[in-house]
A = this chain, B = another copy of it.
Amino acid sequence: MIKKFVFNNPFKTYATVLDIESCTDTLPYFEYSKRKFTYKMSDTTCVYGLGEAVRGINKRGWIYEGYCSDDPSHTEDKRSLYGAHNFLIIDDKQNDGNLFGVFFDYPARITFDIGYSNPSILEVSIEKDDIAVYIIEGNTKREIVRNFRKLIGMSYVAPKWAFGYMQSRWSYFTKDDVIRIADDYEESDIPLDAIFLDIDYMERFKDFTIHDERFPDFEQFVDYMKRRGIRLVPIIDAAVKVEDDYDVYEEGRKNGYFCKDKDGNDYVVGVWPGRAVFPDFLNKDAGKWFSDKYKILTDMGIEGFWNDMNEPAIFYSDKGLDKAFSQIEKYREISLDANTFFDCRDVFPRLSNSQDDYNSFYHNVDGKQIKHNDVHNLYGYFMTKTAQEGFMRNNPDKRTLLFSRASYIGAHRYGGIWTGDNHSWWSHILLCLKQMPSLNMCGFVYSGCDLGGFNGNCTRDLLLRYLSLGIFTPLMRNHSACGTKDQECFAYSDVKDFKNIIDFRYRLIPYIYSEYMKAVLNDDMYIRPLSFDYENDEMAKNIEDQVMVGQSIMIAPVYTQNADGRYVYIPENMTQVRLNADSTITQTKIEKGHHYVNVPLNEIVFFIKENHCIPLCDSAKNVDSIDYSTIKLIGDADTYELYTDDGITTQYSLDNIKTISK
């Protein structure tokens, strides 16, 4: 089922949990030579996987890198985003050929040239030949995923309240800002489960501090908000500010817990707080020490966090900045032309996330000095891993919400991810849709994108369409950047349309939570490409803008401006469900084949598979208030396997499933 092939001395990443003997056979499927794994594709080969990446569900036709990157412009030409998810499924079945999964457990830069240089060659390249490669067999793509997920261990389980609608912004600057957001949502009668605190809640961007003037009596405030039914979720950044008498810095420095340069001095970079240092999460003691700091906030009643800037993002390093200031001098006296101007212009922009910096600091792993670049993709992962291990140590029975920007396979056991700094672009609704199944393959089930788009200005129609996708993703958060237009639902006209859609999320919670839990507990995918459910359907493998959500639902979101609908491929006879603008539901039969489906901005249309149904309940002000006695089943089956638990402890189990009937 799974074979492990070890080349030389791979770094121990803890990505996998099964103890598999390494195999002495030759690696199948691939030619291996000079740090390149080569696979010959046929014209019809499809390639799936790579988790968080640009382009299609079928990854063929581009070159990708596994190298966690803080890149705020997710355009088609990018090779890597924040995560490094080195798992592929290669499907050549149409050609009576191979079907297998492959996981390249390799923590440094790895390149996947999937028919980019040569349309028929898949070539995976690594920098040093220390790697563990796993070949995962299965009869179907979905079975391969399940086998792979057994290998890498059960996915993180988020608390149930984290399936509610959540509002964020960089930043709600003060307690009063946060209260105003809660008031406005309450006034609009739109459910809300959490408000996020971005970097400005801290004192001078110092982790584990609270800005006392902006957020006086924080503990009481957290409690006040919780009594209103809303959790506060603060951000934690990777870098720790260099500041005398700042306890986190002082403790870390004294104990040698920060990443160091070659000579053993703390490596100083610039990030939000200005000069800062990186906790060495790969150093067990340092990771434990940092993770215990979250207790400062959990003791004040905080139940969830998002870990950011952990690729790690570097604005500049002390070393780089010195060099930049000296480089810029040489341009002072020359006439800047085609050959020199761009060099001059880019001296400072080039400082950020530079390869030179990633090559210049080191981790202490069990006493051994490890160059950061060689284990780059583990940094965000280990920040998440150690943080969640801390939560479990300090509060073993309780789930804590945690999601991260940077990640590597393995991190999926400790937290979810959001897909980073997307844009208020229509094309990014589609990008999110495509990323979700790929992330599910890699174990990141609790995931979602910034609804409405992080960068840029969102329009009313765009937010409605973003939300119409977002009601189906486990993480449903509206988030936007500093300097952009207000993006909360009540910032737009006819707020009842937003209410209709977000209410529907709450009506779907019994389904979404059941299907999410079943997926996690069965090592299965919550969101899947159509081709994973309809293996022999030639059309399904072409579909890049529809996905399956849970066992019963297919969605086909609208992602073009001014469209009154879209084309939908129906792979078998289904029930079309329409949430009307007045919150009523219309069910109609829709036949296998191609359809143009009308979807006004204030309606939702989705599809239920034949012989399936879904539970729908009444909406509620937050997840905790949902009344399961209001559940009704819709669809053409008579029963549904409902998963319920307390949503807050770690007592989750498949035993919590019960069959309910119409």
Contacts and interface: CB of A to CB of B under 8 A. Distances in A.
Contacts of A274: 335-338, 340-341
Interface string A547-579: 000000000000011111101010000000000
A338 B200 CA distance: 10
A149 interface: no
Given A345-B349, A460-B119, A337 B270 contact: yes
A368 interface: no
A325 interface: yes
A641 interface: no
A270 B542 contact: no
A119 B493 contact: yes
A316 interface: yes
Interface string A303-336: 0000000000001100001000100100010011
A62 interface: yes
B77 A456 contact: yes
Contacts of A46: 562
Interface residues of A, number: 70
A274 B424 CA distance: 37
Interface in A334-377: 335-338, 340-341, 344-349, 351-352
Interface stretch (A52-60, A81-89, A471-479, A625-633): A52-60
B118 A270 contact: no
Contacts of A321: 336
A501 interface: no
A119 B460 CA distance: 8
Nearest to A44: B564
The 3 closest A-B pairs by CB, nearest first: A274-B337, A274-B335, A567-B567
A561 B567 CA distance: 17
A205 B340 CA distance: 14
Contacts of A544: 560, 562-563
Contacts of A459: 61-62, 115-116, 119
B60 A562 contact: yes
A273 interface: yes
A427 interface: yes
A352 B348 contact: no
Interface string A257-299: 0000000000000101111000000000000000000000000
Contact of A347 (B272, B332, B336, B348): B348
A442 interface: no
B76 A427 contact: yes
A618 interface: no
A623 interface: no
A205 B338 CA distance: 9
Nearest to A462: B61
A536 to B, nearest CB: 16
Interface in A508-526: none
**Which of A332, A340, A561, A595 has most B Cβ within 10 Å?**
A561
A199 interface: yes
A348 B560 CA distance: 36
Nearest to A453: B77
A261 to B, nearest CB: 19
Q: What is the oligomeric copy number?
A: 2
Interface in A396-431: 423-427
Contacts of A325: 328, 332
Contact of A423 (B75, B116, B337, B426): B75
A236 to B, nearest CB: 15
Contacts of A425: 75-77
Contacts of A424: 77
B118 A337 contact: no
Nearest to A596: B594
Contact of A61 (B73, B205, B562): B562
Contacts of A462: 61
A636 interface: no
A36 to B, nearest CB: 19
**Which of A76, A199, A461, A560 has most B Cβ within 10 Å?**
A76
Contacts of A77: 423-425, 455-457
B352 A275 contact: no
Given A75-B423, A77-B424, A542 B564 contact: yes
A116 B352 CA distance: 34
A456 B55 CA distance: 15
Contacts of A596: 539, 567, 569, 594
Contacts of A351: 345
**Which of A62, A204, A341 has most B Cβ within 10 Å?**
A341
A200 to B, nearest CB: 9
A243 to B, nearest CB: 10
23 contacts: A56-B560, A56-B562, A60-B561, A61-B459, A61-B461, A61-B462, A77-B425, A116-B459, A199-B338, A205-B338, A270-B336, A270-B337, A274-B336, A316-B336, A316-B341, A345-B349, A345-B351, A348-B348, A542-B563, A542-B564, A567-B567, A594-B594, A594-B596
